[in-house]
Amino acid sequence: MDNGQLTPETVPTTVGIDIRVESPQTLNRDAWDAFVSEHEAATPYHLSAWILGVERAYGHQCYAVMAYRGSTLCGVLPLTYIRRPVGRGVLVSLPFCDVGGTLAGDEVVHHALIEAARGLAADCGLNGFELRHRGAAIPGDGETAPIKVSMQRALPGDSDTLLGQFKAKLRSQIRKAEKNGLTGEVRTDVSALDAFYPMFAENMRRLGSPVHGIDWFRELLAAYGDRFRIGLVYYGDQVVGGGIVLMNARSACIPWASTLPEYNRLAPNMLLYWRLLSHVCDDGAEWFDFGRSTLGEGTYRFKKQWGAAPFQLDWQQWTLDGLNENEHPAAPSPIARWVRELVERGWRQLPLSVTRWLGPRIRKYITL
C-alpha cells in the first residue's frame, strides 16, 4: 500500500461503487463533514475532526474511506490503525469512543465500505477489524443483565421545554446547585480547556485510569473548532466541575466529565449537565449522547434521571473471511477484574505529575 491508498489486489470491487481512501491530512473535510451532517445515524465522532485529532495527537495512521457513485459521495467509514509496541495492532472504527462504523446510503454501499476495510486490514497485516456501531433501543427498563449500553435522549426544540420535561426532583437538584453558590458557563476557547484539564487529570488518577494528554484535547479543539464545547462549573473562582461536548448537525455527545469530590456535596454535576444540555438544546441538537454505562449501575441511573434511554452497542468483530457472529465484547473474567483492580490501586498511589507524564504514553494504545 502506498500513501494510504488501497491496492487493486486487496480491494474486492462492488459494481457501480468507486472506493477512495485518503488520510485526514489530505481529505476534503468539507465534503466529508457535509455528508456526515446529513446522515441520520451520524455522531460527532464521525466528523473528520476525530480522526484528524487522533493522527495529530498520537501519530496513529488514520484512513478516510469514501464510497462514490459517479461523482456523488454515498458512504464514509473512518478507520484508525493502532500499532502496539507489544502484540498485534488493531484496525478500528473508532478508537477512544463508543461508536463509529459505516455511514452509508444503502446496503450496497455499506458492504462496499466493509470490503474496503477488509482490504485495509490485509494490507496492515491484520486478521480483521472492529466496527463500533450503535444498535437499537433496548425496550422496557432493560436492566436484565450487566451489559454495556449507550445512553441517549431526544431533545426538544428549546431548553425551557426540556426543563419542563424533567421530574420535580431533578429540577430541585439543579436549583440546589445554584443555591449552593455554584455558577456555570459553556466556552470554546483554549483557556477554558486549560482550566478543565488539571481537574480532569486529577480525577482520572483517582479512578486509577491513564489519562489522555493535554495535547490530545488541544488537537481535538483545533480540529473541531466551535463544535468543541467546554462546560465549567465554579465555586467562587475555583473550577469544581467540567465536561467536554462535541457536536454535529443533529447530535451532541459528552465523552469526558469530571468534578472535584470535595465539592460534590454542592451538586456540581447537576449544574454541569444542565448547563451543557440546555446549551446544546438551544443550539439545535436533536439528540444527546450521555456515553457508555453498565445497566443498573450508578452512572446508568444518573443518566437515566435526565431522560436517557439505553441503546445496544453493536460492536462487530470482522475477520478477513467475514463477520464473526460469535465474538462480542465479553464481561471480564474474575481474574481479569482482580488484575485490573490491582493495577488501578497501584496507579492511584503514583504522584499526579507521574500519571500526567506516563498516562498519555499508555492511553494512546487503549482503544476504549
- Give me the sign of the Cα torsion angle 108, 109, 110, 113: positive
Lowest mean pLDDT among 109-118, 136-145, 162-171, 352-361: 136-145
| Backbone φ, ψ for residue 241 (5° rounding) | -160, 155
Q: Is residue 253 included in any domain, yes or no?
A: yes
Length of the chain: 368
Same domain, 38 and 173: no
3-state secondary structure of 258: strand
Assess whether pLDDT exceeds 70 at residue 347: yes
The average confidence (pLDDT) of the chain is 92
Residue corresponding to grid cell 439505553: 310
| Backbone φ, ψ for residue 204 (5° rounding) | -65, -40
Highest averaged pLDDT of the listed ranges 9-18, 231-240, 325-334: 231-240
| Whole-angstrom distance, CA of residue 232 vs CA of residue 218 | 17
Q: Is residue 335 included in any domain, yes or no?
A: no
User: What is the domain count for the chain?
Assistant: 2
- Hey, what's the cell of 269? 454535576
Write the pLDDT tens digit of every residue in 34-90. Answer: 999 999 999 999 999 999 999 999 999 999 999 999 999 999 999 999 999 988 899
Q: 125: domain range?
A: 18-134+314-327
Task: Name 311's Cβ contacts closer than 8 Å, sequence gap at least 6.
Answer: 134, 135, 136, 137, 138, 149, 150, 151, 152
Same domain, 213 and 262: yes
Q: Say which CATH number the domain at 100 has.
A: 3.40.630.30
Q: CA–CA distance from 245 to each of 56, 279, 288, 327 (Å)?
A: 20, 10, 10, 31
Asked if 18 and 6 count as a contact pair (C-beta separation under 8 A), the reply is: no
Helix H or strand E encompassing 128: strand 128-137
Same domain, 96 and 170: no
Same domain, 212 and 353: yes
Same domain, 217 and 125: no
Asked if 64 and 48 count as a contact pair (C-beta separation under 8 A), the reply is: yes
Q: Is residue 368 included in any domain, yes or no?
A: no
Task: Name 240's Cβ contacts closer than 8 Å, sequence gap at least 6.
Answer: 182, 199, 233, 234, 259, 260, 263, 266, 268
CA torsion 361-366-367-368 (nearest 10°) is -120
Same domain, 115 and 167: no
Assess whether pLDDT exceeds 90 at residue 200: yes
Return the number of other C-beta atoms located less than 10 Å from residue 106's C-beta. Answer: 11
Asked if 276 and 141 count as a contact pair (C-beta separation under 8 A), the reply is: no
**pLDDT at residue 141, rounded to an integer:** 60
**pLDDT at residue 73, rounded to an integer:** 97
